[in-house]
Structure 1
Amino acid sequence: MWFIYAAAAATCFGLRGILYQWTSQRPLDRNLLLFGVYLSGTLIALGMNLFMGQPWTGGVLIGLLMGLFSFIANAAMYKGYAVGKASLIALFTGLPPVVVVIVAYLLWGETLNGWQLASFAVVILGLLLIKYSQDLKLGKLKGVQWGLLTLLFFAFTDLSSKQATLAGAATLPVLAVMYGTGAVLFGTVWASGRLQAAGQVVHTAAALDDQAAPAAALLPTTEVAGSWSSGRTFAWGMFVGISNIAGMLFMIPALREGVTGIVSAIAAMNVVFVLLYARFYLKELMARREVVGLALALGGIVLLRVLA
């Protein structure tokens, strides 16, 4: 059953990736968007638990770490895309399962048998081929530090999620704490950015000698011409958050029952959905390496299913 949960998580995360890709082409405040995503997850988890009545045990506090790690991973990823090559950062987003396998072995003694290890390697190779870009050169590694942070903290998010299941934390309470933590962090960053921008404008306005233009007229909102309003951005984030928490609602049970590294690898297959979306909806051509990578990744998942 854990395999079905993991595949369902990959599907939901794939939908989230498609929504993120579409959103990335729009002029909006990313921190406000992610605040909406995490607040949506918080409210959904709390609302569902009103009916489910899952217990709030001490293990749900691990959700604080899950939220912190997820926040750092997302922040590092967006920073990496801002200062480095997108292909380089995308490459790192496919590697967290490797870290998860190693750390899960060190922490909990989880091992893969020979066939599982081979299948896992095939999946990772496929993901790397999908994400690899031929224009990655030693001299073009700007932003690599953000890519490494992205890799590590996405892996830590999966590992802390597994630890929450080992601690006996119920799914909905731990997700409420996780998303609540992320919402507070992203909301704080967004609000501080607004205050900083407003303060800079006020300072600039006060320094002007021209009294013909009142300072109030010089105070812009953080929205430039053509950008999404704060309300629209926040509402869209709340909508995208549905796919995000849906993935975690499947991910937690998969981690509870399955091998951590394999579950992480299957969840990382969400990139396949984004690739198919780009091919059939955006009409982007697929390079040969992407086709080979897609075939390898899917073949590896089939092997994992057979050997599960």
Structure 2
Amino acid sequence: MWFVFAAASAVCFGLRGILYQWTSQRPIDRNLLLLGVYLSGTIIAFAVNAFVRQPWSSGCWVGVWMGLFSFISNASMYRGFAVGRASVIAMFTGLPPVVVVTLAYLLWGERLNMWQTCSFAVIVLGILMIRYSNDISLRNLQGAGWGALTMIAFGITDLSSKKATMLGAETLPTLMLMYVTGTVLFGAAWYAGRRKLAAARAIAAASSEVRQSVAEAAAGKASPAAWTAPRTLLWGMVVGLTNISGMMLVMPAFKLGVTGLVSVVIAMNVVFVLLYARFVLKERFTKLEAGGLTCALIGIIILRLAA
């Protein structure tokens, strides 16, 4: 049953990735977008639990760690995209299952049998082939430090989810604390960003060079107008529906399954983004992407037979 939960979670996160990709092409404040994502999760978790009434326990406080490391992973990922190569950061976002398997073995002694190890290796290989399909080499690893932090933080988020289930924490109370923590952190990041932008604009307003660029913009050379704050926040809350849906499936999957295997199935969400790029955006698969997709699907079949 864990496989069903993990696969459904991968579908939700794949849809989230598609929405993120679409949003990335718009002039939008990412911190405000992510604030909306986490605010939506907070509201939905509270609303659903008002009817379900899952009990609180000390284990639910692991949700604070989940929110913290989720914030770190997303912030690091976006920082990496800003200062480094997108292909490098994308590669690292496919590697958290490696971190999860290693730490789950060291912390809890979780082992994989032969078939599980084989399927894990094949899936990770497929994900790496997909992520590695761009021009990555040892000479163009800009942003690798941020990518590594992203990988570790995503991995610890998965491990925290597993730890919460090991402590007997219920899903909704744990997610409430996770999303409240994320909302506060992204809210603070958005506010700090606004202050920094306001200060930069104040300095720029005194510059004749900027006044000239403003004149050029008025002449029709301006970039598309940025989304308003309410529109960005509302769209973030819509995207948040896919995120909270995925997380509500993640915890039962971790409760029932082996940590590393659940993590690697969830990481398959990249396949849905790839299929979207192929059939909706009409992007062509490279040979490496096609081989990686095939490899990942073979690994999933092996894993399903071994489950």
TM range (shorter): over 0.9
Alignment identity in percent?
61
Alignment of 1:188-203 (within 5 A): 188-202=188-202
Helix, strand or coil for the counterpart of 2:116? helix
Task: Provide closer, same or farther for how the CA distance between residues 199 and 56 of structure 1 changes in structure 2, counting only shifts above 3 A.
Answer: same
Q: How does 1:52-131 map to 2 (within 5 A)?
A: 52-131=52-131
Deviations 1:36-67 (A, max 9, x none): 00010011001000000001111111001000
Residues of 2 paired with 1:261 and 1:80: CA distance?
25
**Deviation for aligned residue 1:131:** 0.8
How far the C-alpha of 1:202 sits from its partner, in A, is 4.4
Query: For 1:107-126, what per-residue CA distance to the aligned partner results, in whole angstroms no more than 9, with x for missing partners?
Result: 11110001110111000001
| TM-score where L is the length of structure 1 | 0.92
Offset, 1:141: 1.0
SS for the counterpart of 2:27 is: coil
Q: Deviations over 1:195-216 (max 9, x none)?
A: 23224444666x79xxxxxxxx
Partner of 2:23: 23
In the other structure, the counterpart of 2:306 is 307
Structure 1 match to 2:136: 136
Contact 2:133 2:286 in 1 (8 A): no
Partner of 1:41: 41
TM-score calculated relative to the size of structure 2: 0.93
Aligned position for 2:246: 247
Matches of 1:138 and 1:129 in 2, distance apart? 16
For 1:6, give the aligned amino acid.
A
CA deviation profile, 1:156-210 (whole Å, cap 9, x unmatched) = 00001100000111000000100110010000010121123224444666x79xx
> Structure 1 residue 276 and structure 2 residue 281: aligned?
no
Aligned residue number for residue 285 of structure 1? 284
Secondary structure of the corresponding residue to residue 139 of structure 1: coil
SS in 2 for 1:154: helix
Residue in 1 that maps onto 2:259: 260
Counterpart of 2:31 in structure 1: which amino acid? N
Distance 1:284 1:134, change over 3 A: closer
Pairwise CA distance, 1:257: 0.5
**Aligned runs of 1:202-217 on 2, under 5 Å?**
202=202
**Which residue of the partner structure matches residue 210 of structure 2?**
none
CA change 1:283–1:134 in 2 (3 A) is closer
**Cα separation, 2, equivalents of 1:34 and 1:283:** 28
Q: Could you say which residue in structure 2 is the equivalent of 1:236?
A: 235
Q: 1:204 to 1:167 in 2, by over 3 A?
A: same
Q: CA RMSD of the aligned region, Å? A: 1.5
Write the distance in 1 (CA, Å) between the matches of 2:5 and 2:201. Answer: 50
Q: Which residue of 2 aligns with 1:51?
A: 51
Q: Which runs of 5+ in 1 are unaligned?
A: 209-223
Q: Measure, in 2, the Cα distance between the counterparts of 1:106 and 1:162.
A: 14
What is the CA–CA distance in structure 1 between the aligned matches of 2:193 and 2:96, rounded to whole Å? 30
Q: CA deviation at 1:288?
A: 1.1
Aligned residues: 293
Q: Distance in 2 between matches of 1:234 and 1:31?
A: 10
Cα separation, 1, equivalents of 2:200 and 2:74: 27
Query: How far apart are the structure 2 equivalents of 1:258 and 1:4?
Result: 10
Task: For residues 84-103 of structure 1, give each alpha carbon's deviation from its aligned partner in whole angstroms, at most 9, with x where no partner exists.
Answer: 11111100011100110010
CA distance in 2 between partners of 1:9 and 1:201 (Å): 42
* Structure 2 residue ranges without an equivalent (≥5): 208-222
**CA distance, structure 2, for counterparts of residue 184 and residue 137 of structure 1:** 38
Aligned-pair CA distance for 1:142: 1.0
Pairwise CA distance, 1:225: 5.2
> Structure 2: how far apart are the matches of 1:307 and 1:179?
34
Which amino acid counterpart does residue 49 of structure 2 have in structure 1?
N
Deviations 1:219-262 (CA, angstroms, capped at 9, x unpaired): xxxxx851111111110000000000100111100000000000
Q: Is the 8 A contact 2:87 2:134 kept in 1?
A: no
Give distance in 1, aligned partners of 2:24 and 2:136: 22
Which amino acid in structure 1 is aligned with residue 84 of structure 2? G
Output the amino acid matched with 1:254: A
CA distance in 2, matches of 1:239, 1:11: 16
- Secondary structure (helix, strand or coil) at the match of 1:140 reads coil
User: Matches of 1:289 and 1:135 in 2, distance apart?
Assistant: 11
Spell out structure 1 runs of 4+ moving beyond 3 A. Answer: 199-205
Letter in 1 for 2:191: A
